[in-house]
Amino acid sequence: VDATRVFTRRGGLFKKAGKAVRAVDGVSLTIRAGETLGLVGESGSGKSTLGRLALRLVEPTSGRLLVDGRDVTGVSKAEMQAMRRDIQMVFQDPYGSLDPRVTIGQSIAEPLKVHGLWDGDGPQKVAGVMSLVGLDPSHADRYPHQFSGGQRQRIGIARALTLDPKILVLDEPVSALDVSIQAQIINLLQRIQRERGLSYLFIAHDLAVVRHVSHRIAVMYLGKVVEMAERDNLYRRPLHPYTVSLLAAVPIADVRMRNRRRTSVTMGEIGSATNVPPGCRFHPRCYQARLVAATGGVPTERSGDALLPRACLIDQPELRSCGGTDRVACHFPETPETRSEVATAVLQ
Ligand code: SF4
Ligand code: MG
């Protein structure tokens, strides 16, 4: 098998402030061997939750989780541990995930011990992963505070690699680092991927970072994947209005659109997962829905101040092919033939 599938359905239903939150809703991802799948969205989109579900760091309170086509929702603890070996996680803040009272050598060794795999070769394995990530193995007896932010992220990566996993879930792995250090860590991750044939799920909140590392990209909005495309396609011909908004050089709250009436639309904050809008969950912020309604030719309805296509208000769009393998969940996607002024401006 050359593909590992991570599939969650109605997976992330959490209790938050007494209210059920469907943080991840019917998401299916396929990550090929040796591939980086970028997962992008604003905070609150459910992307970290999806990563944690893949590792079972959180448990779905309803629904199923399938890995490699197999339902892993009910498997035993022992089986689950064996599976966990194949998927490891690197966090945004390595300092937060490293125990300050424990030497880094011990931290890196810990996964081997937890999985009962610590034996005579243990110290050699630790030295091996330390060298692999560019750390001096003779520094194994030092403590986390003795290292810089970039070095601490190398420690986090080494720790994730000790079990020789197939997939790394990288949750904003460079967001906390200086730009110059970001490039070093990204180069390191790319080299390790080439050498070991690893698959990465690379979670980030902006499209600029994932552009350099991803082969394909999935864009998430309020718990759903709204677009999934080959990297170059996503940047050259984004289909979903939300992707276009993310690609806009200006912050999303300032995206303005003009139509013949020179209406300007200022998009507000990401909605709340506790109160997902009906129909297309992006409709309160969508410039395209407003453009389409103003152009006429489709049934419309008023929603607050806005005139919107009725379809956007009542039908939840499902991910579907728009030619090729790319997928989009939108009733009025930005195809190259019908590209809006907004998308044209953003893509210049
Ligand atoms: Fe916008 Fe309608 Fe497409 Fe949703 S379905 S993204 S509201 S145009
Ligand atoms: Mg997050």
For residue 194, the surrounding DSSP H or E stretch is helix 179-196
CA–centroid distance, residue 42 to ligand 2 (Å): 8
Instruction: Say yes or no: CB of residue 317 within 6 Å of ligand 1.
Output: yes
How far is residue 266 from each of residues 24, 202, 257, 312, 314, measured CA to CA in Å?
27, 30, 8, 18, 22
Residue minimizing CA distance to atom 7 of ligand 1: 283
At 264, which amino acid appears? S
pLDDT at 267: 58
For 83, the 3-state DSSP assignment is helix
**C-alpha span between 99 and 144 (Å, rounded):** 8
Q: Whose CA is nearest to atom 3 of ligand 1?
A: 330
Going from the C-alpha of 167 to that of each of 87, 215, 228, 329, 346, the distances in angstroms are 5, 15, 19, 27, 34
Helix 104-114, helix 149-161: angle, nearest 10: 20
CA atoms within 13 A on the CB side of 319: 18
Distance (Å) from CA 54 to ligand 1 centroid: 28
Q: Whose CA is nearest to atom 4 of ligand 1?
A: 280
User: How far is it, in rounded angstroms, from Cα 223 to Cα 346?
Assistant: 25
Q: Tell me how crowded residue 17 is: count the other CB atoms within 10 A of its CB.
A: 6
Q: Establish whether residue 280 lines the binding site of ligand 1, counting it when its CB lies within 6 angstroms of any ligand atom.
A: yes
Q: Answer yes or no: is the C-beta of 241 below 6 A from any ligand 1 atom.
A: yes
Q: Does residue 282 line the site of ligand 1, with CB under 6 A?
A: yes
| Ligand number with the minimum distance to the CA of 173 | 2
3-state SS class at 94: helix
Of ligand 1's listed atoms, the one at least distance from the Cα of 333 is 3
Under DSSP, the state recorded for 318 is P
Evaluate whether 334 touches 245 at the Cβ level (below 8 Å).
no
**Ligand nearest to C-alpha 315:** 1
Residue nearest to atom 2 of ligand 1 (CA): 312
> How buried is residue 337: exposed, middle or buried, by Cβ count under 10 Å (0-12/13-18/19+)?
exposed
Cα–Cα distance measured from residue 296 to residue 119, given in angstroms and rounded to the nearest whole number: 70
So what's the pLDDT on residue 286? Answer: 93
Query: What's CA 138's distance to the chain center, in Å?
Result: 35
Cα 315 to the center of its chain, rounded Å: 25
Atom nearest to 283 CA in ligand 1: 7
From the CA of 206, how far away is ligand 2's center (Å)? 12
CA distance 331 to 289: 9
Would you give per-residue pLDDT tens digits along the chain (348 residues)?
Answer: 223 444 444 444 444 444 455 677 777 788 888 999 999 988 778 888 887 777 766 666 666 766 667 777 777 777 777 777 888 989 887 777 788 999 999 999 999 999 999 999 999 999 999 999 999 999 999 999 999 999 999 999 999 999 999 999 999 999 889 888 999 999 999 999 999 999 999 999 878 889 989 999 999 998 899 999 999 999 999 999 999 988 885 444 444 444 333 333 445 666 766 678 999 999 999 999 999 999 989 999 999 889 999 999 999 999 999 877 899 999 999 988 888 888 888 887
Which of ligand 1's atoms lies nearest the C-alpha of 280? 4
Strands 27-32, 199-204: pairing kind: unpaired
Q: Which residues contact 222 (CB under 8 A, 6 or more apart)?
A: 44, 45, 46, 270, 271, 273, 276, 281, 282
Q: What angle do CA 207, 28, 19 make, to 5 degrees?
A: 85
Indicate which ligand has the atom closest to the C-alpha of 343. Answer: 1
Distance 43 CA to ligand 2 centre (A): 6
Q: Is 289 in the pocket of ligand 1 (CB under 6 A)?
A: yes
244 ligand 1 Cβ < 6 A: no
What whole-number distance in Å separates Cα of residue 222 and Cα of residue 16? Answer: 15
By the 8 A CB rule, do 54 and 66 touch? Answer: no
